[in-house]
Chain A
Amino acid sequence: MALHVELVSPERIAYSGDAKMVIARTTVGDIAFMSGHVPFVGVLQTWPVRVLHDNDNEDVIAVHQGFVEVSPTDAEGNSRVTILSDVCEVSDTIDVARAKAAKDRATHLLAGDPNDEAAREALARAEVRLEVAGQPKSGTTHP
């Protein structure tokens, strides 16, 4: 009854491992997957994906849009969650200074023009990056 998680970006497999639960945010809301989930395909928002392990540790990965697919459980009851995204970043690959600069820039642009879509997206990305980079290994809880 294992749950295998894979985060795949176009250039490589960014993260791969077993987990107890995976929490992601689709365009319609948060969703959590555990082993035995029904086959599912969803469109993701720019939001950190949380991977919870059996020992209550968690990995947080910045995912900038993309898809999540839960494939049908196989004969042994193992499930597989695959997240496809243009950008998957684990905390140690994030350049905090650059993300901060990007956030300031986007905030500045938004202050000048509140309808700037590109700036809004850039701000969301920068915020997700900073959140993932500054994330303690476990602790923060979302309802």
Chain B
Amino acid sequence: MPGAQERVLRRRIGAFQNMKKITRAMELIAATRVVKAVQAAGDARPYSEHITHVITDLASAGAAGDHPLLSQPEQVRTVGVVVFSSDRGLAGAYNSSVIRAAEREVLAAKDAGQGYVLITVGKKAEAYFRFRGYQVHTAYNGFTEKPTYEHAREIAAEITSMFGESVDEVRLAYTRFVSMGTQEVSVRRFLPLETGVDPASAGAQAAQAQFEFEPSPSAVLAALLPRYVESRLFAALLDAAASELASRQRAMKSATDNAQELILKLSRKMNQARQEAITTEIMEIIGGAEALAADQGDDEDLLLDHLFSDPFPALMSDRQFTNIRTKP
């Protein structure tokens, strides 16, 4: 029946138009949020830079070495893996790539005969690991798009309390925000901390730095290191948030473009189908009219033709009717 294909296509175009509206809205939302997230990451940088600077000063004054967060374990028996994913999907490959990197770490630890403790940030990572039967030690959800320092503090407290007790090493798997166009998955050792100063050269530097410490270098260090852990975690959270939003913006942009392309393709198909239907209909009308004209005034006509010739021309397109009147 002509028109059926056209109707089906029209419905599909409508569906894609709705989808396009949604993805377009999500793209715009992500675009405004990513700007804020990048700004938040920029605002947090001075603190973390200063704190790193102070720690380097302390290390060069010879305070480093004996603090539990700095001490290297003799043997790594259990590895802690912290994975930063997002709460919501529709962000392209963002979640799958960081989760895969974290899973590799866990499997590597298993292969080496070490235990693992998995800490997830974001619903996606939790769902992934739980579904596959991994043991998720702690899961933090609900703030991946807009993390605050409080969240970082909470996670830091959890990690530092485990470190040295049940975990000998902690690794972070997160997505580093390089630029709007580039984000890369990064897995790095987080605890024990590395101060970047080796003890041999520390003594030489101490002579030139000559910092005064109040109350004492090791007391300052003890107060400072937990803050340092927090600020590093906060930086990772902010990087992950910016990366998530940038990925989502990109994913939604290409979804919108794809929808637009499909709408165009289907519209062309639909127009063609409509044109075909019209052509067929005209052909049928012409065919019917010609058949009727040829039949007029023929003596050999059936009685039927004369009876129905008056009311039926309006229904000339009715093929069955023309068929009845086939000439002998």
Residues of chain A from 9 to 39 with CB closer than 8 A to chain B in the complex: 9-13, 26-28, 31, 38-39
**Closest CB in chain B relative to A90 CB, distance in Å:** 16
Contacting pair B215 A13 (CB below 8 A): no
Tally of contacts, chain A with chain B, CB under 8 A: 81
A135 within 8 A of B: no
What's the dominant secondary structure at chain B's contact region? helix
A8 within 8 A of B: yes
**Closest CB in chain A relative to B81 CB, distance in Å:** 24
Q: A8-B46, A67-B223 are in contact. Are A41 and B40 (CB under 8 A)?
A: no
**B residues less than 8 Å from A72 (CB atoms):** 209
Tell me the count of chain B residues lying within 8 A, CB to CB, of chain A. 30
**A residues less than 8 Å from B116 (CB atoms):** none
**A residues less than 8 Å from B43 (CB atoms):** 11-13
A82 within 8 A of B: yes
In the docked arrangement, what's the CA distance between A11 and B37, Å? Answer: 12
**A residues less than 8 Å from B224 (CB atoms):** 67
Contacting pair B212 A86 (CB below 8 A): no
Contacting pair A67 B212 (CB below 8 A): no
**A residues less than 8 Å from B220 (CB atoms):** 41-43, 67
**B residues less than 8 Å from A71 (CB atoms):** 53
**Closest CB in chain A relative to B71 CB, distance in Å:** 22
**Closest CB in chain A relative to B221 CB, distance in Å:** 9
Over the window 146-183 of chain B, the binary record of Cβ atoms lying under 8 Å from chain A Cβ atoms (1 yes, 0 no) is 00110010000000000000000000000000000000
**A residues less than 8 Å from B209 (CB atoms):** 39, 72
**B residues less than 8 Å from A67 (CB atoms):** 51, 54, 220, 223-224, 227
Q: A39-B211, A41-B212, A84-B227 are in contact. Are A69 and B54 (CB under 8 A)?
A: yes
B125 within 8 A of A: no
Contacting pair B50 A82 (CB below 8 A): yes
In the docked arrangement, what's the CA distance between A31 and B152, Å? Answer: 31
**Closest CB in chain A relative to B154 CB, distance in Å:** 13
Closest to B214 in A: A42
**B residues less than 8 Å from A13 (CB atoms):** 43, 46
**A residues less than 8 Å from B50 (CB atoms):** 8, 69, 82, 84
Complex A-B, nearest 10 residue pairs according to Cβ-Cβ distance, in ascending order: A42-B214, A12-B43, A39-B211, A10-B149, A40-B212, A8-B47, A10-B47, A43-B223, A26-B214, A8-B46
Give me the interface of A with B, judged by CB distance under 8 Å. Answer: 6, 8-13, 26-28, 31, 38-43, 66-67, 69, 71-72, 82, 84, 86
